[in-house]
Amino acid sequence: MNAEKAFRRYLQKIAGKPRFKKKHAQTVKLYFPKNNPKDLEIERHRIKLPTLGWVRLKEKGYLPIQETVSSCTIEQKANRFYVSVLFSSISGKKQKEWKAKRVSDGIGIDLGIKDFAITSQGQVFGNINKTSIIKRTEKRLKRVQRALSRQYEFKKKRGGKPATKNGSNIAKNILRIQKLHQRLARMRDAYRAWVVSVIAKTKPAFITIERLNVQGMKKNRHLSKSISDQGFYDFKRKLGNACRKMGIELREVAMFYPSSKLCSQCGIKKVKLSLSDRVFSCEHCGQNIDRDHNAAINLMQARKYVLLT
């Protein structure tokens, strides 16, 4: 199914040519369809997998007991096993309730590197990658990566082949690295989920975001890591899901919309604006406002947009 999807996207010119994955660099995944009614039964603390039988869960009361599961995927990431289940449920009733209880009109969200997101109401969500907990974990990751690299170098000196038949000490360090990567990914993911929930809880009529040229921005090698660490694509996906669930209109403004160059008060376009100007000051009406806050208000006021929900 994955190969079919990859080729379809390739032939429709949405994505590049499918590549074979490196065996050592991927998570192991197993897909189980539900072939007979007794498969994939779920209890509070365990799940019945085809062939394997009952498997105990670590996180209890988490999987949907009352729903009928149609398939599941088992995944191994850094010596832990994860199960994802697919089921369908009817939640049309909830949507109508949400639609009636709208509070604020609409908001614009400006995404960036200095701060992760700024809303047009002036709410600022900082960049989690600048916090000490992330920096400490990244530092630890670097240290273990260096240790592993030294082990490989030492092995090469003794005449062993670099990445074949790893000893137990090398395997230990590989696992340490995998665990740290996982930890970082989970912290970033949880932060994005939190930002989405805070924004969605204000129940706006619509949310406007900018279409970002992430591929283009990554070409700047000084910024490439900090951009990919933000996970803008995942944020947009999470925001889209939340909006669909709560009946909020999600608007996307085109890439070339000059959101940071316009004055949010009088609408005059500023020609000269460098990235170092953190404060937007308008010569026409005399407005002084934070650069990203100004951009967020412009996004909210944008008239040309594509609907994503």
Under the binding rule (CB under 5 A), the answer on residue 121 touching Zn ion is no
For Zn ion, the binding residue among 187, 265, 289, 290 (CB under 5 A) is 265
Asked if residues 288 and 281 have their Cβ atoms less than 8 Å apart, the reply is: yes
For Zn ion, the binding residue among 94, 186, 225, 284 (CB under 5 A) is 284
Q: Which stretch binds Zn ion (CB under 5 A): 116-124, 144-152, 180-188, 274-282?
A: 274-282
For Zn ion, the binding residue among 282, 295, 299, 300 (CB under 5 A) is 282
Task: Identify the residue whose tokens are 């639609």.
Answer: 99
Under the binding rule (CB under 5 A), the answer on residue 285 touching Zn ion is yes
Tokens representing 305 are: 């947009």
- When the beta carbons of 195 and 300 are compared against Zn ion, the nearer one is 300
- When the beta carbons of 182 and 265 are compared against Zn ion, the nearer one is 265
What part of residues 10-39 is at the interface with Zn ion (CB under 5 A)?
none
Q: Which stretch binds Zn ion (CB under 5 A): 148-156, 161-169, 275-283, 297-305?
A: 275-283
CB atoms within 10 A of CB 225: 11
> Mask 214-253, x = binds Zn ion (CB under 5 A)?
----------------------------------------
Q: Closest distance between Zn ion and the C-beta of residue 237, in Å?
A: 35
Q: Closest distance between Zn ion and the C-beta of residue 268, in Å?
A: 5
Q: Which stretch binds Zn ion (CB under 5 A): 6-14, 172-180, 257-265, 271-279?
A: 257-265
Q: Closest distance between Zn ion and the C-beta of residue 283, in Å?
A: 8
Amino acid letter, residue 261 = K
For Zn ion, the binding residue among 207, 263, 297, 300 (CB under 5 A) is 263
Tell me the number of residues near Zn ion by CB under 5 A. 7
Under the binding rule (CB under 5 A), the answer on residue 258 touching Zn ion is no
Q: Which stretch binds Zn ion (CB under 5 A): 16-24, 143-151, 159-167, 266-274?
A: 266-274
DSSP sequence for the chain: -HHHHHHHHHHTTSS----PPPSTTS-EEEEEE--STTTT-B-SSEEEETTTEEEE-SSTT-S-SSSPEEEEEEEEETTEEEEEEEE----HHHHHHHHHT--S-EEEEEE-SSEEEEETT--EEE-GGGSHHHHHHHHHHHHHHHHHHHHHHHHHHTT--TTSS--HHHHHHHHHHHHHHHHHHHHHHHHHHHHHHHHHHT--SEEEEEPP-HHHHTTSTTTHHHHHHH-HHHHHHHHHHHHHHHT-EEEEE-TT--TTTB-TTT-PBPS---TT--EEE-TTT--EEEHHHHHHHHHHH----EE--
- When the beta carbons of 129 and 264 are compared against Zn ion, the nearer one is 264
Q: Closest distance between Zn ion and the C-beta of residue 277, in Å?
A: 15
Q: Report CA dihedral (139, 141, 142, 146) to the nearest 10 degrees.
A: 140
Asked if residues 81 and 30 have their Cβ atoms less than 8 Å apart, the reply is: no
Q: Closest distance between Zn ion and the C-beta of residue 118, in Å?
A: 19
Q: Closest distance between Zn ion and the C-beta of residue 262, in Å?
A: 9
What part of residues 36-65 is at the interface with Zn ion (CB under 5 A)?
none
Asked if residues 239 and 207 have their Cβ atoms less than 8 Å apart, the reply is: yes
For Zn ion, the binding residue among 11, 198, 266, 279 (CB under 5 A) is 266
Q: Which residues form the interface with Zn ion (CB under 5 A)?
A: 263, 265-266, 282, 284-285, 287
